[in-house]
Amino acid sequence: MEENKDITGEIIELYDEDENLVKYRLFDVTEYKGKKYALLIPADADPDNCDVAIFGYDERAGVLTTIDDENLLEEVFEFYRSEQDDGDDTAD
């Protein structure tokens, strides 16, 4: 049986379009419409005030894939934000 491990916070090194090495931190993984997506932030960034990069995520293979569809990126990000907002609700 495969064990799920928490990989949040791991440093991931990727190359940008100019072949520069960029370090990201895995901020979170979310599932949207049956597919998993990894949310990455710059490794040295403040998680509360930075840009988020979203990639398709194949958990079994440990592979990130780029997403070219801007609408899908926006949908995944908005879905993630709404899920986080729902989790912040507290009973009075």
34-56, pLDDT tens digit by residue? 999 999 999 998 888 889 999 99
Burial group, residue 75, by CB count within 10 angstroms (0-12, 13-18, 19+): middle
Query: What pLDDT, on the 0 to 100 scale, is given for residue 1?
Result: 35
What is the DSSP code (8-state) at residue 4? P
- In the chain, which stretches have pLDDT less than 50? 1-5, 90-92
Query: What pLDDT, on the 0 to 100 scale, is given for residue 16?
Result: 85
Query: What pLDDT, on the 0 to 100 scale, is given for residue 76?
Result: 98
Query: What pLDDT, on the 0 to 100 scale, is given for residue 92?
Result: 45
In the chain, DSSP assigns E strands to 11-15, 21-32, 35-42, 53-58, 63-65
Query: What pLDDT, on the 0 to 100 scale, is given for residue 62?
Result: 86
